[in-house]
């Protein structure tokens, strides 16, 4: 009876981070890269003892049990990517923020003091990580599109001998389809904000990452069908490792 009660207590009182999908390790020439899906477009990447937050969103509960950030990457101005309330709630004492100029222009003076602007096509280095800003935008291009070319950034990150692509909010644009030698990719799919499942699969089959994670897949009509995405990708190329994770487990 006591053992049963103790088990129930542990289940009820389990910390929030216990709900998270299991982290993956990508082996690099300079040690493992730990990939932790969190919430919608939010993840952490841990490498060489440093922790990178990508599009931190959803409040401190999202980061329960996770080390304070050394580097933060922000892709766009929308609230599910640039969340000032979440940023202000985090320990940013050692953090550098990398973001598009449009995001930095919306920051408080406190956040601006920690920020470095990077534009489409520009490459910088932080924490021994090469960071290249990649365009992210809607198709067809239009001045009133939700995501216009040049405003936001996708990112290509190099960790030792491994390369990671984070799409940000985008359609299956030529710049994505032209990518080469991507080891792991995070690709969005949520109408009407980015692209649908067939377009995302088509883009992935063009640039052929070794591993792809569908992420940012909550749209106007609920969650996109990531199982269908996996089937489409693997029907076109069975060698691509499509990893389905629950990016919406944090309530």
CATH of the domain at 81: 3.60.15.10
Tell me, yes or no, whether 98 lies in a domain: yes
Tell me, yes or no, whether 5 lies in a domain: no
Identify the CA nearest to 159 among candidates 23, 25, 33, 24: 33
Tell me, yes or no, whether 36 lies in a domain: yes
Task: Give 139-151 pLDDT, tens digit per residue.
Answer: 999 898 999 999 9
Long-range contact list for 236-239, CB < 8 A, 24+ apart?
A: 236/201, 236/205, 237/205, 237/208, 239/210
The residue range of the domain holding 130 is 21-242
Tell me, yes or no, whether 12 lies in a domain: no
**By percentage, how much of the chain surpasses pLDDT 70?**
92
Q: Tokens for 170?
A: 């985008």
Tell me, yes or no, whether 9 lies in a domain: no
**Residue 189 burial by CB count (10 A; 0-12/13-18/19+): exposed, middle or buried?**
buried
Domain count, the chain: 1
Tell me, yes or no, whether 250 lies in a domain: no
Predicted structure pTM score: 0.92
Is residue 7 pLDDT above 80, yes or no? Answer: no
Tell me, yes or no, whether 2 lies in a domain: no
Beta strands in 21-77 (DSSP E): 24-28, 31-39, 42-47, 50-54, 71-73
Mean pLDDT to the nearest integer, 241-246: 96
Tell me, yes or no, whether 220 lies in a domain: yes
In angstroms, the CA 98 to CA 131 distance is 9
Residue 63: phi and psi, rounded to 5, are -110, 20
CB atoms within 10 A of CB 72: 22
Task: Give 184-227 pLDDT, tens digit per residue.
Answer: 999 999 999 999 999 999 999 999 999 999 999 999 889 999 99
């Amino acid at each position: 009876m006591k053992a049963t009660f103790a088990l129930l207590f542990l289940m009820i009182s389990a910390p929030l981070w216990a709900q998270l999908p299991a982290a993956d390790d990508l082996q690099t020439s300079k040690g493992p890269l730990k990939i932790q899906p969190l919430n919608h477009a939010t993840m952490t990447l841990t490498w060489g003892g440093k922790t990178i937050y990508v599009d931190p969103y959803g409040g401190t509960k999202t980061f329960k049990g996770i080390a304070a950030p050394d580097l933060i990457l922000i892709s766009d101005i929308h609230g599910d990517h640039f969340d000032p309330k979440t940023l202000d709630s985090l320990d940013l004492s050692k953090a550098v923020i990398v973001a598009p100029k449009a995001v930095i222009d919306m920051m408080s003076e406190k956040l601006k003091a920690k920020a470095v602007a990077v534009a489409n096509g520009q490459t910088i280095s932080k924490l021994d990580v090469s960071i290249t800003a990649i365009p992210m935008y809607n198709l067809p291009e239009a001045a009133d599109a939700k995501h216009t070319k040049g405003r936001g950034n996708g990112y290509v990150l190099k960790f030792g001998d491994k390369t990671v692509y984070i799409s940000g909010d985008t359609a299956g644009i030529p710049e994505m389809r032209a990518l080469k030698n991507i080891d792991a990719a995070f690709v969005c799919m949520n109408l009407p904000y980015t692209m649908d499942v067939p377009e995302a699969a088509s883009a992935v089959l063009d640039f052929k990452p070794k591993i792809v994670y569908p992420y940012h897949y909550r749209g106007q009509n609920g969650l996109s069908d990531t199982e269908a995405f996996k089937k489409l990708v693997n029907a076109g190329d069975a060698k691509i490792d499509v990893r389905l994770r629950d990016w919406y487990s944090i309530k």
